[in-house]
Amino acid sequence: MDELEELYQEILFEHCRNPRNFGELPEASHRALGYNPLCGDRIEVGLRMEGNRIQQIRFRGEGCAISFASASVMTETVQGKTVAEVLQLLERFQKFLTSPDDSGLPRDVLEGDLWTLQGVRHFPARIKCATLPWHTLRAALENRSEPVSTE
């Protein structure tokens, strides 16, 4: 493993050990539940919107290290963004995780610690773990009441 991969792993472990924005958001205006039946991950995303912008976001639930790290990174990345910005970022993140490599995908398409999730691409079954928080976020933005499943 090279030094960059080790750094990415350490950042992910830090997000898993100390997830950012973890906990309930009682004053949430939007909520959604997500579930990955393959590994048992359960995530709830709560949002407080101010107009078309995410004023505050929190998540809670139980899951594997990848889903928790992804949720933690996601909350840091999207807080303060508009719905359109978040949906565009979600599409880029999905493309990033399903691309076999970084060709044609400039580094600046993803912000902050999102790049640390690149190792997930080598484990297709774990992509659902990494994207569950994001699909749950989309459901929250759409104010969907039915739980999101990664089946």
Give counts: helices (H), strands (E), the chain. Answer: 4, 4
In Å, how far from its chain's centre is CA 40? 16
Q: Which residues pair with 32 in a beta bridge?
A: 45
Q: Which residue has the higher pLDDT, 69 or 3?
A: 69
Question: What is the overall mean pLDDT for the chain?
Answer: 84
The domain containing residue 135 runs over which residues?
Answer: 3-149
Residues paired with residue 41 on neighbouring β-strands, in sequence order: 36
Residues 81-103 have a mean pLDDT of: 83
Residue 119 pLDDT grade (very low, low, confident, very high; cuts 50, 70, 90): confident
Note whether 11 and 20 are within 8 A (CB).
no
Token couple for 15: 């997000």
User: Nearest to residue 34, comparing CAs of 59, 16, 53, 65?
Assistant: 59
Side-chain-side CA neighbours of residue 4 (13 Å):
6
| Torsional sign, CA 123, 129, 134, 139 | positive
> What local confidence, expressed as pLDDT, does residue 5 receive?
64
Say if residues 20 and 76 touch (Cβ distance below 8 Å): yes
Number of structural domains (the chain) is 1
What is the model's pLDDT at position 123? 80
User: Per-residue confidence at 7, pLDDT binned at 50, 70, 90?
Assistant: low
| CATH code for the domain of 121 | 3.90.1010.10
